[in-house]
Every structure is written in structure tokens, then in C-alpha cells.
Structure 1
Amino acid sequence: MANLKELRKRIQSVSSTMQITSAMKMVSAAKLKKAQDSIIQMRPYANKLKEILQNLNATLESSEGAYSSRAEVKNILLVVFSSNRGLCGAFNSNINKLARKTADEFAAAGKKVFILCVGKKAYDYFKRLDYPIVGNEGHIFDQIKYATVEALAERLMDQFRNSEYDEIHLIYNQFKNAAVQYSIVEQFLPVQKPELKEVSSIDYIYEPQKEELVQLLIPKSLKIQIYKAVLDSNASEHGARMTAMHKATDNAKELQRTLKLEYNKARQASITNEILEIVSGAAALNG
């Protein structure tokens, strides 16, 4: 059994840790509310815009365009969204594992895979692997602004148009609630056409022509798609960190309770031993 001094130090250490995790939980909860509101408000708009664009694109007679599928796919870019900091449970490990699995599958199919990291944790993970990293855009999460995300989207669109990459995929955590996030792979470019059975039967009135509308809407839709991924990842990070810190605080409380019980037992045993020594000493003197 550990001595009383060691137990007191451990109890103090656990108490300090519990205060830190509890404070981090409250901070993440406050940030989560704002991040959650942002993605919930953005998601319906982004999904509807994407749906309209896909249905419009599917009705065109020609599929040729700057953002259409390539005849041969050789170079693939994976844009991996992670966090810049840890202490958020399995948030980063899940996204890194999915990204590596996806990269390995493309590489096994004979494709050349490139990685663009949006977050320090993804960069730290992939720099140890053999896949070429073309950049780290983790600064986006320092202060999320549409203008910053728009610049990233425009650069990716330019690289696709210039045939630097034949496909671009987004890998990020999709937010559901504070306790649940889904790691997903989403094709960014080329623009996908929906299956024939998924094409909406809504008869739109176009002004100007369909082809011109597609060229106007595609860049806007792609920028919104990237922005939605950033907001999803940001909300997921705060939700994961809040949940992780909540569990850490509960574990610290349980450990503190166990240590206090052990401390009280050790203290009681020490007092009992002292009493026995005093009684034994008194008995020896009387004898």
C-alpha cells in the first residue's frame, strides 16, 4: 500500500487534471453551440444547391466542360480535414485511418495519390508515410472565414482545370451531434451527375440558357461544398472534444474517489498501528 504522502500527491494531481478537463469541456461546449448553428444553417442550402446543379447538369446534351469527368484518371488529390490540436478523442485517428485506407485503395489501382492536409494532425500523420504532401492549410481553422475557404476552393478548381489532378476527393468528419460524427469521403471534382432514377422531375424555367447557368453555378456550388466540409469538421471537432473532456472528467472523479478511499484506509491503518504501539509500550512499562 502506498504511503500517505504519495496518495496525497496523487489526489492533488488528479484534482488539478479534473479542473483542466472540466474547463476544456465548458469551453468546447460554448464553441460547439456556435459551430453547430453554422453547419445546421448551411447544410440545407448547400445540399439543395448541389441537387439543383446535378439535375441541371444531367439534362444537358453534352457532358463536356471544365469540371467534367476525364477519360483517364491518373492523378488523385485527397483533401484531408483534421484538427490543429488534440484532446478530442478518436476524431483525428478516425479521419487519418479513413484517408490512408482511401489512399491505399487508389494506389493499389495504379493511381498516383497526393495529399492536401487541412489541419496539423493530418499533416503530422501523413508526413511519416510515403504519399506526397502538397500543402497544409490548417490556418483555415484559426479563424473560419468564407473568403479564406473560397481561395482554397478556387486553387483546387484551377488545378483540376489545368489537369494537375484528374480527381479531387474531400475526407472529413460529418457532424451529427456532439457524441456522433461520421468520417466520409466525398467527391469534389469532377462534378458528379446523379443516377437517372435520382434525377428530379421538376421542370425548371431557365434564364439565361442551361449551359450558361451551369458555368455560373458550378464554381459557386464547389466553393459552398468546401465551406460546408470546413464547418462540418469544425463542429465535429468541438463535439468530439467536449465528449472526450466529459469522459475524462468523469474518469478523474472516479479515480479521485478511489484514491481517497485508499488514503482513508491507509490513514486508518496508520492510526491503528500507532495505538497498538502506544498500548504495547504502556503494557511493557507496567510489566
Structure 2
Amino acid sequence: MASLKEVRSRIQSVSSTQQITKAMKMVAAAKLRRAQDNIIRMRPYAQRLTSILANLTRTTTDEVVSEYGQVREVRRVLIIAITSDRGLAGAFNANIFKGVSALIADRYANLPVNAISIMAIGKKAHDYYGRRSYARVGDYTHVFAQLSFNTVRLAAEEAMSGFVAGTYDEVVMVYNEFKNVATQFVQAEQLLPLVPTAEPAGTPSATAPDNSIDYIFEPSKEEIIQTLIPQSLKIQLYKAVLESNASEHGARMTAMDKATDNAGELLKSLKLTYNRTRQAAITTEILEIVGGAEALAASR
């Protein structure tokens, strides 16, 4: 049985850890509220812009659409893995690594390792793939320190220029999509090449034929498309980063809540052990005193 000093030391250690996990939970909750507001505001804009982009790719043959929508034989791939800068968020980062591995096994199993490049957004992905044999593209470990569209835009532009130049035949994003505080889903979403997709049921253009979509372009169709296509791609990556950011804080809040509860359970167990150990020590001392008194009485 552990000594009283050892048990007391463990109680103090667990109590300190519990205070830290409580504080981290509160910080994550505050950050989650802001991150959740950001992604809720971004989703309708990104979805509508993607919808317009899908319609344009079906109804136009513009060169800008062609260069970003060119489907080639897949020989080189860029995977954008979006993780966090810090840990203590449960399986948040590990799920991304598993998702990337599953994507490679399912879609790119026939490609050699040197044909797959990783653009790591977040320090955890940067460190993880730095120890692997995949080629790393760029250094975007600073994105979450000052999260904004401009910081993410640089990563999107590098991926886009690599695709246009033929360095990559496909660009895929792997990120955690935010559902709620306790639930995040790993998504593997193709960024390039552009693929015309049908709109979700219930949207106005989904119920109308493609040829009924008639956009009015101002100042000109060419200028609008040249601006809209690259902007839409950047927005898609920015949305994925915002989804990951909200998911990270949700996962960390959940993990710290569970850690706080576990620390509470452990404290109860340690305090029970401490009381039992103390009671056993007191009983032993009483028995020794009574035994000594009886021995003295018997010797008289």
C-alpha cells in the first residue's frame, strides 16, 4: 500500500491537472463560439458561390474554366492535409492522418510515394509528414496563429499554380467538417480539377433545366469568370480551414471536459485510498500503544 505522503502528492498533482483541464475547456469554449460564428457566416456564401461556379462550368467553354477544369491522367497528386497547431484535442489530428492514408489507399494506391505531395496546413500535419517519405509543399504552420482569408489565399494560390503548370493532376483537401461540439467528420474534397456537380435538391437551379440559367454579366463575361473561378477555389480552401478551426476547438473542449471528469473520478479514488491508509496507520498506532501499555502492566 502506498504511503500517505505518496497518496497526498498524487492528489495534489491530479488537482493541479484538473484545474488546467478546466481552464483549457473554458478557453476552447470561448474560441469555439467565435470559430462557429465564422463558419456559419461563411457556409451560405461558399455554397452559393460553388453553385454559381458549377453552373458556369456546365454552360461555358472559357479558357479560365478549361485550365482549372482540365481532367488529366492522374500521375501526380497534391493532398492538402488540414490539422491544428496544438494537440490535446482527442483524435482530431489522428483522424486526419487516417483519412489521408485511407484516401491514398483507395484512390492513389497505384501511384509511387514520390508522386504524392502533401501540403500541410497546421503544425501537427507539418511535423507528422516531415517524418514520412512524402514530399512536403510550402510551410503553412502559421495559418492558425492569425487566421484570415489572406493567409489561406497563399496556400490556395500555390496549389492552383501547381495544377495549371501540370505539377499536379489532382488536388484534394482532407479536413474535419464541423457538425457540433462533440461531432466532426473527416472530409476528402476534390479542389482541382473543377468538376461540374448537380446542385442539392430544393435549390432553385436544381429544379430548373441547365439552359434556363441565364446570368447577366457586368462588366463582361470574360472578366467575371477570370475573377470568379480563382476566387471560388480560394474560398473553398478557406471554408475548409474554418471548418477545421471550429472542429479543433470543439474537439478540444470535449477532450478537456472528459479529462476534467476523469480527474474528478481519480481524485475520489485517491481520497478514498488516502483515508483508508490514514485510518490503517491510526489503527496500527493505537494497537501499538495498547500493546505497549499491556506489556508494561504485565511486567509490574
Identify unmatched segments of 5+ residues in structure 1: none
After superposition, the Cα gap between the structure-2 partners of 1:170 and 1:274, relative to the gap in structure 1 and judged at 3 Å, is same
| SS of residue in 2 equivalent to 1:176 | strand
- Report the equivalent of 2:93: 92
Give the conservation status (yes or no) of the 8 Å contact 1:56–1:210.
no
Residues 1-287 of structure 1: matches in 2 within 5 Å?
1-60=1-60, 65-110=66-111, 112-195=115-198, 200=206, 201=208, 203-208=213-218, 213-287=224-298
Structure 1 residues 197 and 126, CA gap change in structure 2 (3 angstroms): closer
- In structure 2, give the amino acid aligned to 1:269: A
- 1:7 and 1:28, CA in 2 relative to 1: closer, same or farther beyond 3 A? same
Deviation at 1:196, TM superposition (A): 9.2
Partner Cα distance (2:261, 2:200) in 1: 49
Scaled by the length of structure 2, the TM-score of the pair is 0.90
Kept in 2: contact 1:60–1:211 (CA 8 A) = no
2-structure distance, mates of 1:196, 1:41: 20
Instruction: Give RMSD over aligned pairs.
Output: 2.0
Cα shift at 1:60: 2.7
Pairs aligned (count): 287
Contact 2:83 2:96 in 1 (8 A): yes
- Cα distance in 1 for partners of 2:45, 2:107 equals 31
- TM-score for both structures, normalised by structure 1: 0.94
Paired-residue identity, %: 52
Secondary structure of the residue that 1:108 maps to in structure 2?
Answer: coil
Output one character per residue of 1:109-141: Cα deviation in whole Å (capped at 9) or x when no partner: 236211110111112222222221123311011
Report the Cα distance in structure 1 between the residues aligned to 2:23 and 2:72, rounded to whole angstroms: 54
**Contact in 2 for aligned 1:3/1:266 (Cα 8 Å):** yes
141-150 or 106-115, which deviates more: 106-115
Question: Higher mean Cα deviation, 4-13 or 156-165?
Answer: 156-165
1:213-241: CA deviations, max 9, x gaps?
Answer: 43331111111111101111111111111
What are the Cα deviations for residues 237-270 of structure 1, in whole angstroms up to 9, with x where unaligned?
1111111011001000100010000100110111
Residue 106 (structure 1) shift: 4.0
Query: Within 2, Cα distance between the matches of 1:33 and 1:103?
Result: 34
Unaligned 5+ segments in structure 2 are none
Contact 1:119 1:139 in 2 (8 A): yes
Task: For residue 155 of structure 1, report the CA deviation from its aligned partner.
Answer: 2.0
SS in 2 for 1:53: helix
Offset of 1:212 from its aligned partner? 5.1
- How far 1:36 moved relative to its partner? 0.6
CA distance in 2, matches of 1:135, 1:274: 69
Q: Deviations over 1:26-72 (max 9, x none)?
A: 11111111011000110111011101210221123678611013232
Structure 2 CA distance for aligned equivalents of residues 104 and 131 of structure 1: 14
Amino acid at match of 1:53: L
2:178–2:184 Cα contact (<8 Å) kept: yes
CA distance in 1, matches of 2:110, 2:36: 38
Query: Distance between the aligned counterparts of 1:72 and 1:182, measured in 2?
Result: 29
